[in-house]
Amino acid sequence: MTLAYAVLGVAFVGLIAYALFGGADFGGGIWDLLAGGTERGRAARDRVENSIGPVWEANHVWLIFVLVVLWTGFSGGFAAAVTTLYIPLTFAAFGVIARGAAFAYRKSVGSLRMRRFFGAVFALSSLVTPFFFGAVVGGVASGRVPPRIAGGDVVTSWANPTSVLGGILAVLVCAYLAAVFLCGDARRDGEHELAEAFRRRALASAVVTGVVGLAGIAVLRADAPMLFDGLTGRGLPAVLLSVVAGLAALGLLLTRRYIAARLTSALAVTAILVGWAAGQYPYLLPPSLTVEQAATGHSTLLALLVALCVGTVVLVPSLVFLYTLFQRPPYGFEHPNRSSPRTAGPQ
């Protein structure tokens, strides 16, 4: 493995972490949007807020991490991508900002009208932001970003069939991950009716995601043949692993084994991302700019890799502690709706 691939591999791990944790975060906002009216959706919205509240800011650390590595280690390819895809990236950035502000303000305002306004901003931003991120990935993966500054069409580079497919799949995956995570959180806190509701949503979103993914095969074959060949060639083992893990997650959801369902769902998403990377290899910007060509000088990559290793020692244990800390029920907590052990589902 060369130094360029080592640095890019670390960035790719950060991308996977953002897809899983940030994706579940966005998905919580999507279910907030679909929860229903003020009274009917109150319980679901409270569950979403309680689950993502302690960690939503930390999830975006992964996005910042990926961006910093790319503009430092692969500045030419990064500049080409952001100057061609600046429209969806701008929408995604505004979505992240508006979503965070609305999530914070919704809890602090006293007026019902303003709470509804900020709630709508939070929920809609949670929907459109992953769509535009997915559109960006589709534009890069389908070869619509030439390796030069502002070299691609600023509209068709992201408004195309592959990008639309990528955006839709990003939204569906976020909704699915959030529903799976919320099942376990709701049952942990004794909210068994909510756990059942989110289980049904997880199953439904999994089925819809699978149907869209199958339909997307035809889209990729017609619109992005190079990516299609890569996914059905070098990336095929990872794609098959994603299918197997997804089916296993469905079975675990049906039997209410939510912790295991989280792990297999995360594996399914990780595997499809690995399949995309394998299918695109060796290009950073297909079909012409390879990873080695896009990499900066040896000394910059080496310094960056050393900094990443040192930072990982501090960052990863801190985030692991944060995530695990808020997965534990409060000490001595007994939710008023908690079922007795006799009626509780399997763990």
**pLDDT bucket at 103, cuts 50 / 70 / 90:** confident
pTM of the model: 0.90
Mean pLDDT on 65-72 = 94
Query: What dihedral do alpha carbons 246, 251, 254, 258 form, nearest 10°?
Result: -70
**pLDDT tens sequence across 296-316:** 999 999 999 999 999 888 888
**CA pair distance 69, 84, nearest whole angstrom:** 19
Q: Which residues partner with 290 through β-bridges?
A: 283
Question: CB count, 10 Å around CB of 128?
Answer: 19
Question: CB count, 10 Å around CB of 180?
Answer: 28
pLDDT score at 330? 57
Query: If you search the block for the tokens 């990236």, which residue do you land on?
Result: 89
Mean pLDDT on 41-50 = 89
**pLDDT tens sequence across 183-228:** 998 998 889 999 999 999 999 999 999 999 999 999 999 999 999 9
pLDDT score at 329? 65
Alpha-helical segments (H) within 107-160: 112-141
| Tokens of residue 9, six digits | 């591999």
Mean pLDDT on 304-330 = 82
**pLDDT tens sequence across 122-156:** 999 999 999 999 999 999 999 999 999 999 999 99
**pLDDT bucket at 60, cuts 50 / 70 / 90:** confident
